[in-house]
């Protein structure tokens, strides 16, 4: 089998394609022939060695894959050889490879969604669309008519958050982007208004009649975390879902949270799925079903061969992407 290896923390340029022994079926796992692997900013961070304590080098990156079942491990039921599937490889990574062993509870049979969903879209979407679904529905617990602000509106996660908020009953959905060109690109993702992030506080308050929004979803991080609290109405919630900026963490007074009647929540799919795998799998199936039925859409900017994984990560590192990139294995 072929696999991308990161063995030194020197960024995307350090990725290399190597041959490894074929995987064998393991008890409780599915072995799949990978067709596509999703590429996200997390892989950029891995290439820099930013999570080396949790994921020591050398490693094969990749959080999400699609393909066909190659073999079924002992004790696994409900799948068949040759079945098209998408899976989240959140705990062991290893998605940037021609074969993967995956957990059945985090794997979605694509032929059971009730509508067609192609393998490339499934691999590009499963982690982010599931994150968006759980963050809006279960973490924030959206109510019909709530006004929402999403940072990073054209990113892999942001492009789903706006659409998912609308699909789950939001009223006005606002978004922030890094430059004027991305405002045009984000318009297709369910946003009612879009702002350049450097002036988002003023524009958000203006767009809401100075009442503020019910929730802010922030996958960007940095100084925007604290600024986001300025646009929350009383009992409003800041939901932290990433740190794509790579900036240092920010601190905030818990007494100020108390005095302002604000709420702050965090959500990461990796940690949640570790303790709640069944619930995560159910959410993934529902979210991918929405995608298959055309209720939300995925934006794939580019498809790269596995050997060009470094090029894909470099493009993400430069923050020059809309939606998602995928590797074709």
Q: What is the CATH number of the domain that holds 306?
A: 3.90.180.10
- Do 41 and 174 have their domain in common? no
- Do 99 and 139 have their domain in common? no
Average pLDDT of span 203-217: 97
Q: What is the pLDDT of residue 289?
A: 97
Confidence tier at 62 by pLDDT (50, 70, 90):
very high
- Do 82 and 204 have their domain in common? no
Q: What is the pLDDT of residue 244?
A: 78
Point out the domain boundary residue: 218, 253, 269: 269
Contact between 79 and 104 under an 8 Å Cβ cutoff? The reply is yes
C-alpha to C-alpha distance for 149 and 228, rounded to whole angstroms: 9
C-alpha to C-alpha distance for 237 and 256, rounded to whole angstroms: 14
Cis amide linkage into residue 158, ω under 30° from 0: no
For the chain, give the percent of residues with pLDDT over 70. Answer: 100
C-alpha to C-alpha distance for 78 and 86, rounded to whole angstroms: 14
Confidence tier at 203 by pLDDT (50, 70, 90):
very high
What tokens were used for 197? Answer: 């992030």
- Do 295 and 285 have their domain in common? yes
Average pLDDT of span 259-279: 95
How many domains does the chain divide into? Answer: 2
Q: How many CB atoms lie within 10 A of CB 115?
A: 13
φ/ψ of 39, rounded to 5, equals -115, 125
Q: Which one has a higher pLDDT value, 20 or 183?
A: 20
pLDDT digits (tens, 9 = 90+) for 118-139: 999 999 999 999 999 999 999 9
pLDDT digits (tens, 9 = 90+) for 90-108: 988 899 999 999 999 999 9
Q: What is the pLDDT of residue 52?
A: 85
- Do 166 and 135 have their domain in common? yes
C-alpha to C-alpha distance for 109 and 90, rounded to whole angstroms: 17
Point out the domain boundary residue: 269, 286, 307: 269
- Do 57 and 189 have their domain in common? no
- Do 91 and 203 have their domain in common? no
- Do 295 and 250 have their domain in common? no
Q: What is the pLDDT of residue 54?
A: 87
Q: What is the pLDDT of residue 267?
A: 97
pLDDT digits (tens, 9 = 90+) for 301-328: 899 999 999 999 999 888 777 879 999 9
pLDDT digits (tens, 9 = 90+) for 75-84: 999 999 999 9
- Do 254 and 278 have their domain in common? no
Point out the domain boundary residue: 246, 269, 292: 269
DSSP 194: E
* pTM of the full structure: 0.95
- Do 41 and 96 have their domain in common? yes
Q: What is the pLDDT of residue 329?
A: 94
Side-chain-facing half-sphere of 282: CA atoms under 13 Å: 7
Number of H helices, E strands in the chain: 10, 15
Whether 89 has a pLDDT exceeding 90, the answer reads: yes
- Do 40 and 114 have their domain in common? yes
Whether 246 has a pLDDT exceeding 80, the answer reads: no
- Among left, alpha and beta (phi > 0; psi -120 to 50; other), residue 235 is left
Q: What is the pLDDT of residue 92?
A: 84
Contact between 36 and 66 under an 8 Å Cβ cutoff? The reply is yes
Q: What is the pLDDT of residue 178?
A: 86
* Nearest C-alpha neighbor of 275 from the set 50, 26, 114, 90: 90
| Beta pairing, strands 64-72 & 99-102 | unpaired
**Sheet arrangement for strand 232-240:** 193-196, 173-177, 148-150, 213-218, 232-240, 263-266
- Do 249 and 292 have their domain in common? no
Contact between 167 and 137 under an 8 Å Cβ cutoff? The reply is no
- Domain of 68, in residue numbers: 2-125+270-328
Q: How many CB atoms lie within 10 A of CB 320?
A: 11
Confidence tier at 87 by pLDDT (50, 70, 90):
very high
For the chain, give the percent of residues with pLDDT over 90. Answer: 79
């Amino acid at each position: 089998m072929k696999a991308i290896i990161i063995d030194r923390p020197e960024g995307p340029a350090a990725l290399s394609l190597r041959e490894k022994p074929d995987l064998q079926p393991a008890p409780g796992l599915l072995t799949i022939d990978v067709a596509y692997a999703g590429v996200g900013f997390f892989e950029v961070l891995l290439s820099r060695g930013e999570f080396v304590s949790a994921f020591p080098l050398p490693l094969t990156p990749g959080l999400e894959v699609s393909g066909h079942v190659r073999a079924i491990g002992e004790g696994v039921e409900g799948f068949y050889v040759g079945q098209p599937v998408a899976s989240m490889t959140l705990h062991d990574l290893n998605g940037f490879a021609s074969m993967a062993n995956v957990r059945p509870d985090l794997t979605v049979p694509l032929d059971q969604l009730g509508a067609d969903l192609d393998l490339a879209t499934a691999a590009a979407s499963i982690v982010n669309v599931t994150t968006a679904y759980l963050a809006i529905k279960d973490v924030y617990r959206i109510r019909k008519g709530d006004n929402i602000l999403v940072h990073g509106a054209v990113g892999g996660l942001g492009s789903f958050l706006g659409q998912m908020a609308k699909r789950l009953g939001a009223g006005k959905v606002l978004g922030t982007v890094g430059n004027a060109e991305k405002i045009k690109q984000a318009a297709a993702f369910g946003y009612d208004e879009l702002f350049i992030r450097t002036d988002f506080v003023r524009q958000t308050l203006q767009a809401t009649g100075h009442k503020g929004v019910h929730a802010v979803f922030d996958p960007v991080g940095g100084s925007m975390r604290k600024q986001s609290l300025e646009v929350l109405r009383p009992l409003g919630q800041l939901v932290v879902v990433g740190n794509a900026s790579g900036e240092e963490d920010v601190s905030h007074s818990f007494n100020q949270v108390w005095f302002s009647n604000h709420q702050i929540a965090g959500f990461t799919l990796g940690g949640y799925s570790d303790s709640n795998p069944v619930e995560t799998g159910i959410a993934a199936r529902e979210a991918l079903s929405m995608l298959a039925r055309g209720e939300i859409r995925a934006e794939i900017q580019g498809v790269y061969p596995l050997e060009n994984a470094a090029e894909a990560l470099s493009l993400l590192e430069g923050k020059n992407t809309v939606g998602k990139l995928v590797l074709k294995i």
